[in-house]
Structure 1
Amino acid sequence: MEYSIAEITEKVLAGYRFKRGDDLQVFLQAPLEELQHGAGVLQKYFCGNHIDFCTIINGRSGRCGEDCKYCAQSACHHTDCEEYGFLPKEEIIANAKANQDAGANRFAIVTSGRALAGDDFERALDVYRTMHSTLHIGLCASHGLLSAEQLHRLHETGVTSYHHNIETSRRFFPQICTTHTYDDRIRTIRLAQKEGLCVCSGGIIGMGETWEDRLDMAISLAELGIQSIPINALMPIPGTPLENRPQLDGKDVLRTIAFFRFINPEANIRLAAGRKLLPENGATALLSGASASITGNMLTTSGTTIAEDMVMLRRLGLTNDESAGTCGTNCAAGCHH
């Protein structure tokens, strides 16, 4: 029996959750407006008017030995990526405080490389300890394929969320990276979850994968119980193997966001790279499935400032005040001090 989007919306509201093996073609065939409306209903029910804003700083850049085809920071490619070692403590903390004061909900240090280790890892721990004791913004980390011990030490400093994308489907992953495996990523995610960290994990669309790969990624994230799911649209970078990929149509990004909401109804679906491809820099998406966004003056958000995003929220009747109720309940609870 085929169900309409309206009927599927009611099923999800009543507790049904999509699983591997379900027929998901309706999400590809339904009119986009109809799909967005259903996603908006689910978002309103599970997330209320809340939008979660996170910010990031590139704490160590370039010279990465991994060969991810989309990434400007891989030493395997020839890009104009800026290269520098771990940033000074004072610079990172000043950035975090500025983002906190502007109203962001959480702050992440992101570093290049397979895994942060040695002196740089110790420096990161010191920065997190100081931020935890002096600021109230939620702390997130993104440092690659860490061990259980490293994740435990991060957690001890006050870090409550760990970011580690699965990037795409299991089938397509070997087409974008050969220096580590999809299972390496899953292992890290499970270790972070076992440690009690909220895991933020999503991926990139527009790398040459099929619509079925995108649906598969959504199901995989549901199986993992991910509470924060960033959706990046590939922004082809000169010098990378994907530099000549055609840019995605904004409607394809909107469709992806909408069906991710259906498949992961209680998670924060987070706008990330490629917001400029969307109508009004993502405003319509924030009413039709997306309940979170990366913000701030970073490449991933195309220079969108926190102040501009706050104005947009007010215009849309939304808020990032966490007392308004949130999606990604487990993450939101863990990110409060």
Structure 2
Amino acid sequence: MKPAIGMKWMDYANKAITKVELTQEEALQVLHAEDDELLPLMDAAFLVRKHFFGKKVKLNMILNAKSGLCPEDCGYCSQSIVSTAPVAKYTMLDKETLLAGAREALNRKAGTYCIVASGRGPTEKELSQVEEAVKEIRATMPLKICACLGILSEDQATRLKEAGVHRYNHNLNTSRKHYPDITTTHTYDQRVETVDTAKRAGLSPCSGVIIGMGESDEEIVEMAFALRTLDADSIPVNFLNAIPGTPLEKMGRTPAQKALRVLALFRFVCPDKEIRVAGGRELNLRSLQPLSLYAANSLFVGDYLTTPGQEISTDHQMIEDLGFEIELCAL
């Protein structure tokens, strides 16, 4: 007798809850699930999400603290040296603007404020500006701070930790094999080392991926297991927003059902980690966005670095309509 639809996914959920690692073949089956299995698959992913995180949703807000002016050639990025996209270009924002961003994060009910700067890595002046702002934010506002400033030295990571930064983001973005097709000015290993540097300094590691850059399903599985090995605490799963003027401008969007299968995969492989449905969710998930929170337990609210996000009130309403609850910052 053919097993009932969804029994296999429940087996996967039980494995994840008990921290039994899926095999590579099992993980690939998640991405190859048929469309009529989507709801049972998301139900199984929700069991894992609910076990570790209940029905709470963590909100994050990004501030593009330094825009454009980047010497790297990342093919997905509108701020890279090879991009002709008409994006704003400015140096690191001053302290008052960074503080205003933190206040806006609170207004949006975000628990984590993400200070992101373009470039290979921070200069001494840029690092000092971030340190000064973070110290004041920590002294006056109930927010966790995530910094994303590029490649870090040991000393820079330590200074960010001492200033009060909680988390450091440096995405793997894609698989090791596919990486040279996306970026040539730095390596996959340099990204891994930056995450490890942040961890050694006591910063919570945040590292994720961008789906839809020409990678295979096998490579998506590889990404999920790489982040499990890296032990990233927070995993933003982005879906490519192919921006005109970038080398990847002609890439098509990820189908909404495929995006949901990807989120389920990351939940099964990294069951107790913060999985954030991140950049490109509005474009790729479209009307299926609410289903993403049955696997993911975190969202960005508002705009991204150079692309607009969904109305903040719409995100708040979506969370409420699901019967979920916004998780406020607990320092």
TM-score interval (norm. to shorter): over 0.9
Query: Post-superposition, which runs of at least 4 consecutive aligned residues in structure 1 deviate over 6 A?
Result: none
Correspondence 1:247 to 2:250: no
**CA contact 2:61–2:112 (8 Å) conserved in 1:** yes
Q: Distance in 1 between matches of 2:46 and 2:85?
A: 39
CA offsets 1:255-282 (integer angstroms, 9 cap, x no match): 1001110001101110111121214462
**CA contact 2:64–2:305 (8 Å) conserved in 1:** no
2:31 — aligned with what?
Answer: 28
Matches for 1:96-175 after TM superposition, within 5 Å: 96-175=102-181
Question: Secondary structure at the residue paired with 1:52?
Answer: strand
CA drift at 1:283: 1.1
Question: Secondary structure at the residue paired with 1:169?
Answer: coil
Unpaired segments of 5 or more residues in structure 2?
A: none
CA offsets 1:72-93 (integer angstroms, 9 cap, x no match): 0012221111101111211121
CA offsets 1:67-116 (integer angstroms, 9 cap, x no match): 00000001222111110111121112112112213311110110000001
The alpha-carbon distance between structure 1 residues 12 and 297, as it changes in their structure 2 partners (threshold 3 A), is closer
Q: Distance in 1 between matches of 2:148 and 2:139?
A: 20
How many residues of Structure 1 are paired with residues of Structure 2 in the alignment? Answer: 322
**CA contact 1:18–1:263 (8 Å) conserved in 2:** yes
Q: Distance in 1 between matches of 2:240 and 2:177?
A: 18
CA offsets 1:220-278 (integer angstroms, 9 cap, x no match): 00011112110111011111110111121111111100111000110111011112121
Correspondence 1:7 to 2:11: yes
Q: Distance in 2 between matches of 1:130 and 1:319?
A: 29
1:284 — aligned with what?
Answer: 291
The alpha-carbon distance between structure 1 residues 270 and 95, as it changes in their structure 2 partners (threshold 3 A), is same
**CA contact 2:114–2:145 (8 Å) conserved in 1:** yes
The alpha-carbon distance between structure 1 residues 67 and 169, as it changes in their structure 2 partners (threshold 3 A), is same
The alpha-carbon distance between structure 1 residues 10 and 63, as it changes in their structure 2 partners (threshold 3 A), is same
Out of 321, 325, 334, the residue aligned to residue 327 of structure 2 is 321
**CA contact 2:87–2:306 (8 Å) conserved in 1:** no
The alpha-carbon distance between structure 1 residues 271 and 201, as it changes in their structure 2 partners (threshold 3 A), is same
Out of 299, 307, 322, the residue aligned to residue 293 of structure 1 is 299
1:48 — aligned with what?
Answer: 54
CA drift at 1:138: 0.8
1:311 — aligned with what?
Answer: 317
Unpaired segments of 5 or more residues in structure 1?
A: 323-334
Question: What's the RMSD between the two structures over aligned residues?
Answer: 1.8
The normalised TM-score by structure 2 is 0.92
1:331 — aligned with what?
Answer: none
1:286 aligned partner, one-letter code: L
Q: Distance in 2 between matches of 1:14 and 1:118?
A: 45
**Identity rate, percent:** 36
Out of 82, 88, 101, the residue aligned to residue 88 of structure 2 is 82
**CA contact 2:19–2:271 (8 Å) conserved in 1:** no
2:245 aligned partner, one-letter code: G
Q: Distance in 2 between matches of 1:301 and 1:317?
A: 29
